[in-house]
Amino acid sequence: MHKMSKVAQGLASWLAFERRCGRQNLFCESYLAHALGQLLTHQYSGQVLPEQKHPVLSAARNGAGRRPCYDFAVFSREGVADLAIETKWASASPTLLRDLVRDLVRLDLLVPQHAREAILILAGERRRINRLFARSEFKPHASHPHSTPLLPIESYSRTSVRLVPAHTYRRSLYRDALRKFATIPIRRSIRVERGGWYDAAKEYRVFVWRIIKYGGQTFLPEEVFGPYDEPNRGD
């Protein structure tokens, strides 16, 4: 079994165990950190470190305050990370899909200059993840025969998150998601493959997506989706 699939299986099984212990009321993104850190340490050689400063977004951040970070990194030596990880808990937040797109962009900004590989992990209750996947912005568009889900699931193993030119039905989502990157060059299209997924006792689902490294043109969100009514904070 692939490392990413093992991480997905381990995290989903841990969630099911925690539920059996009556701790499901504690579930949130930060609650996943300890279990995920253990799984990453077991599966990947190198040092696993939480809350790493995002070099691109930190450089773009103006003024005082905490610099933007990403959730985990695996280092085998100084400098470039072997693996960068962002995690997302499938909460009831109405901005969940927007936040997934933001995490995807944050990871893409790291590869390959600051991280050799990057993965996005989504975990949560089956019903909430299924509800997310049923959103019109996530699903393939019925009138576009070659369209795909926003992220690869089920029979889809790879897809391109095409930010520009954006499909009309996803334009509002992308405009909102890219507000935080208004003056930062980002890729027009981000290639993503499904690295692993797992269902635990029909209650919890975990998906892992890997960012595929390749070239590609960049654009400034401010020029395509702007003007924005607030300055870029690099978050």
pLDDT tens, residue order, the chain (235 aa): 588 899 999 999 999 999 999 999 999 999 999 999 999 999 998 899 999 999 999 988 776 778 899 999 999 877 789 999 999 999 999 999 999 999 999 999 999 999 999 999 999 999 999 999 999 999 988 787 778 899 999 777 889 999 999 989 999 999 999 999 999 999 999 999 998 888 876 789 999 999 998 778 999 999 999 888 765 555 5
Distance, CA of 83 to chain centre: 13
Provide the token pair at 194: 């499904």
d(CA 148, CA 129): 17
pTM: 0.92
What is the distance between the alpha carbons of residues 217 and 224, in angstroms, rounded to a whole number? 14
Residue type at position 38? Q
